[in-house]
Amino acid sequence: SDIISFVEQLFNENVVNYQFSPRVFDNSIMWLQSRTVQKHGEAGTEGRAEVVSQFENEFVLIYHNSFSFQRAFRDGSLMQQMRALKRFSKSKKNDLKVIVLFNSVSDSLFNNENPLQGGEGAVSRGEFERFLIELTLSFEFDFLELYSPIEIIEFLREVHLSIKDKPHRKELS
């Protein structure tokens, strides 16, 4: 998609202390933060310390448009991935920020309220709203819905700049 291509380009052009991570979860974009670690030399190396950069996951952004959300919701993979991401977040002692970004999902689900119009595998707007409640209360993830590719690209650009400007801050502006 254009948005994923934009993110890859953004990271390739503007990497400072971050790098683009492989997609561990479907539709995910991970920011890896570089932390400087001092490694002390072994005996006989005159006690010199070597400075090493180590990358850790700090932020995960999960992106869904209407089609990918409905497919993952119906086949159960969405809930499996949210549970796996929650376990991963707990292993990081909740130092991991998770944002689920929806691209016009709620708007596209209005037509699914009538079973004849929605078709097989369609998700209703009510199911989407219940999922958002579970996302917030059970998984404790943040979500945001934007409605145009330009809004999404601007949001991603702002997230990237916010992380780049204040890399050790846990909250995004």
Cα distances from 140 to residues 83, 85, 102, 147, in angstroms, run 11, 11, 16, 23
Q: What are phi and psi of 35, to 5 degrees?
A: -115, 135
Higher pLDDT, 54 or 87: 87
What is the spatial distance between Cα 66 and Cα 68, in angstroms, rounded to a whole number?
6
The reported pTM is 0.68
What is the tens place of the pLDDT at every residue in 109-166? Answer: 877 665 544 456 689 999 999 999 999 999 999 999 999 888 888 887 787 777 666 6
Rg (CA), the chain: 19
- In this prediction, residue 17 carries a pLDDT of 38
Name the band, by pLDDT with cuts 50, 70 and 90, for residue 25: low
> What average pLDDT does this structure show over 16-30?
49
pLDDT attached to residue 117 = 47
Domains of the chain: 2-165 (3.40.50.10130)
pLDDT digits (tens, 9 = 90+) for 74-116: 999 999 989 988 887 887 765 677 888 898 899 888 776 655 4
